[in-house]
Amino acid sequence: MSIFSRWLGKLRFGVFSENDLKREQVKTENEPTGENIPRHVAIIMDGNGRWAKARGLPRIAGHHNGMKTVKRITKAADRVGVKVLTLYAFSTENWKRPKAEVEFLMKLPQEFLSLELDELVENNVQVRMMGNRELLPDHTLAAVEEAVRKTKDNTGLILNFALNYGSRIEMVDAAKELARQAAAGIIQPDAIEEADFERLLLSSGLPDPDLLIRTSGELRLSNFMLWQLAYSEFWFTDVYWPEFSEQHLFDAIREYQRRARRYGGL
Ligand code: FPP
């Protein structure tokens, strides 16, 4: 049931609690508006394990709740006018985790998409994936590719999952391709420009992130979009990803709107 119809029902039967009203008030008061909404927001969704541990739950419960946050934040980002939302769902280094946790994480895209794909299609969201497809289990890749195919002509928010993604290998692969082209005489090494390199990155065609958010209090990039984040604004919070709310996203965006981006100039 959509929020809209739930609210409609509550209105009809007059069962609005004071909390409902307060929540809605806070929501609209805090919602960023104006011209300079970040076009591309990238998020390192961290702290699922610690969230679960603090509640005496297994780590996978944290990931599962993190999946629910993905839905919440996708809707909120779309509502305020973000055009691209990139979510770091699994890094090339995450394979080092215990097998059972990796298996669980690899089932999440499938579960998420089986629950949400229809609504994403309805809301004109375009799903993309950025990462190495080769090592992904067939069921994970099939679910993601189905979503990519079904939404490819959508023109709304781009929901870009970084899945089996690592920035260094992304750049090494781009360098290899440029080297191949140079060896084949297709390009002159001295003529290589930033744009030539950029075209070979997995984010090709997307604007660089304007705003990077990392949850859980960690202050590092963890091999995430190292090239693309060169001039992004960073926003960190101690909040664990499963508890990250629309309010937090809006706080981050409003803080972004107060920053002066100079790109090395004055
Ligand atoms: C980092 O937290 C989080 C991950 C490695 C996985 C992120 C995945 C999700 C939030 C769900 C993705 C959902 C979809 C739809 C693909 P951590 O486990 O490192 O937390 P910790 O640092 O507290 O241990």
pLDDT tens digit sequence for 104-156 = 999 999 999 999 999 999 999 999 999 999 999 999 999 999 999 999 999 99
Contacts by 141-148 with C-beta closer than 8 Å and gap 24+? 143/109, 143/110, 143/113, 143/114, 144/109, 144/113, 146/113, 146/117, 147/113, 147/117, 147/120
- Note the pLDDT tens digit of each residue in 62-99: 999 999 999 999 999 999 999 999 999 999 999 999 99
Q: Which residue, judged by its Cα, is nearest atom 14 of ligand 1?
A: 109
Please report which confidence band the pLDDT of residue 8 belongs to, taking 50, 70 and 90 as the band edges.
Answer: very low
Q: Cα(98)–Cα(160) distance, rounded to whole angstroms?
A: 26
Residues forming the active site: 46, 94
| Mean pLDDT within 181-207 | 98
Residues above pLDDT 90, as percent of the chain: 85
Q: Which atom of ligand 1 is nearest to the CA of 59?
A: 18
In the chain, DSSP finds a helix count (H) and a strand count (E) of 9, 6
- Read out DSSP for 218-255? ----TTSSTTTTTT-EEEE-SS-GGG--HHHHHHHHHH
| Domain annotation for the chain: domains and CATH numbers | 3-8+38-166+208-258 (3.40.1180.10)
For 160, phi then psi, to 5°, come to: -110, 110
For the Cβ of 88 lying below 6 angstroms from any atom of ligand 1, the answer is: no
What separation in Å is there between the alpha carbon of 48 and the centre of ligand 1? 5
| DSSP character at residue 152 | T
Ligand 1 pocket test target in 44, 50, 63 with most atoms within 8 Å of CB: 63
For the Cβ of 174 lying below 6 angstroms from any atom of ligand 1, the answer is: no
Q: Cα(263)–Cα(211) distance, rounded to whole angstroms?
A: 14
Q: Cα(12)–Cα(243) distance, rounded to whole angstroms?
A: 31
Q: Which atom of ligand 1 is nearest to the CA of 111?
A: 15
Q: Which atom of ligand 1 is nearest to the CA of 88?
A: 7
Q: Which residue, judged by its Cα, is nearest atom 11 of ligand 1?
A: 67
For the Cβ of 224 lying below 6 angstroms from any atom of ligand 1, the answer is: no
Please report which confidence band the pLDDT of residue 164 belongs to, taking 50, 70 and 90 as the band edges.
Answer: very high
Grouping H, G, I as helix, E, B as strand and the rest as coil, residue 151 is helix
What separation in Å is there between the alpha carbon of 14 and the centre of ligand 1? 39
**pLDDT on residue 263:** 86
**pLDDT on residue 266:** 81
Please report which confidence band the pLDDT of residue 47 belongs to, taking 50, 70 and 90 as the band edges.
Answer: very high
